[in-house]
């Protein structure tokens, strides 16, 4: 069984929420829907899979400091598929 990654809210106000996610290998965010546009800033290099509700798994390689952005509305689960701990910071734009 996959365990849940640790989410630590670092900052939240009326405009943004900043959450650091820390994953051991095979840990997951759990299935969720993004209510806001967001930016992900990888803290470590790593390998993930984003799994959609229909079971489609999309692998991605994260590189420390190489950010990406996504729009609100996406529904998925993110799993650390690498062999090492993984961390990223998620910045939600309210």
Mean pLDDT by 10 residues, the chain (94 residues): 87 98 96 97 98 97 98 97 98 98
Note the pLDDT of residue 2.
63
Please report the DSSP string for 9-38 in residue order: EEEE-SSEEEEEEEE-TT-B--SEE--SEE
Neighbouring CB atoms inside 10 A of 16's CB total 14
Residue-range domains of the chain with CATH: 6-93 (2.60.120.10)
**What pLDDT was estimated at residue 1?**
47
């Amino acid at each position: 069984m996959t365990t849940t990654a640790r989410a630590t809210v670092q900052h939240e106000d009326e405009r943004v929420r900043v959450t650091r996610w820390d994953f051991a290998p095979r840990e997951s965010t759990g299935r969720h829907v993004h209510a806001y546009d967001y930016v992900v800033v990888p803290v470590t290099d790593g390998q993930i899979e984003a799994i959609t509700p229909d079971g489609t798994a999309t692998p991605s390689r994260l590189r420390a400091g190489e950010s990406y952005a996504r729009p609100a509305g996406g529904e998925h689960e993110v799993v650390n598929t690498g062999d090492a701990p993984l961390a990223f910071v998620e910045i939600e734009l309210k």
